[in-house]
Structure 1
């Protein structure tokens, strides 16, 4: 499923037009990104938690030459699914609304 497919699902489920659903999806994703940037995490009970995770500096290897290179510390987005979501995915069934 891609963003267009998700927009169509939201439009069907809510009765919104495709344009309105696209705006809703965009606003939701922007809100999650802003929450992660400002607060560090966004928790959606029953779905999961989007969070920032710090990655320590480390030494890696250049795959072409094999020489060691220093990889700088960084912060990366991460997602931890809720137990209910893990069960639904494992069972191959959609979320219950």
Structure 2
């Protein structure tokens, strides 16, 4: 699903559900605001949880020694941060898993 597909799906669901009729631009701004809020929550608190969807957490990998596989030279692998997603039970069940 692309951003455009997401916006159109939200517009259609609002329309079918008797919600307000919003333009593509307005729904796009809402979608962008939601993802910006999730990103801000991850930056500030290191996690975002949506009970029916799942949880996003910041996973930190500490710096560690390693080796260049081509030369065998010892290198320092730097500390890194990434986002981990764990689906909620409801989401897994809806996917058949």
Q: Specify the TM-score bucket, using the shorter chain as the normaliser.
A: 0.7 to 0.9
Is the alpha carbon distance of 1:61 and 1:14 closer, same or farther for their aligned partners in structure 2, counting shifts above 3 Å?
A: farther
Aligned residues: 91
**2:50 corresponds to:** 44
CA displacement, residues 44-72 of structure 1 (integer Å, 9 cap, x when unaligned): 00110111111122234445545443211
* Structure 2 runs not aligned, ≥5 long: 16-21
| Root-mean-square deviation over aligned CA pairs | 1.8
TM value normalised by structure 1: 0.80
Asked which structure has the greater CA Rg, the reply is: 2
* Structure 1 runs not aligned, ≥5 long: 92-97
Alignment map for 1:1-97 (pairs within 5 Å): 1-15=1-15, 16-62=22-68, 64-90=70-96
TM value normalised by structure 2: 0.80
